[in-house]
Amino acid sequence: MSKKLYVGGLSYGTTDEALKEAFSQAGSVVSATIIMDKMSGRSKGFGFVEYATDEEAQAAIAMFNGKEFDGRTLTVNEARPMEARPPRRDFNSGGGSRGGYGGERRSNW
């Protein structure tokens, strides 16, 4: 069964390929993905590496956790399942206060 690792502290310039190449030293990498910010398209500084076996994943943790990569100190551990989060409030959906002065202006003639 495959094992996914969280890799934090990545340089913003690190690519998926560079991550995969480096972590291949510990075993057979199934996938390596840098998480990107949707708005800016820039790296968020963390990613995930997936190994074919638990033994390879443990070897990668031992090899890379606390070590320097691309000038940054890495944090490497087992990835936790993503937690369910409440839906985000959409501020563009209308409703709420309309602002302004409101109401009709009448003159006192």
The CATH fold of domain 3-78? Alpha-Beta Plaits (3.30.70)
Mean of the per-residue pLDDT values for the chain?
A: 87
Residue type, 87: P
C-alpha distances in Å from residue 62, one per residue of 2, 34, 59, 100, 109: 17, 20, 5, 61, 85
Decide if pLDDT at 70 tops 80.
yes
Q: What is the per-residue pLDDT for 14?
A: 94
Residue 99: which pLDDT band, with cuts at 50, 70 and 90? low
Q: What is the per-residue pLDDT for 90?
A: 66
Which contacts (CB < 8 Å, 24+ apart) does range 32-37 have?
Answer: 34/10
> If DSSP codes are grouped into helix, strand and coil, which group holds residue 30?
strand
Q: What is the per-residue pLDDT for 87?
A: 83
For 85-92, what is the mean pLDDT? 74
Cβ proximity of 7 and 74 under 8 Å: yes
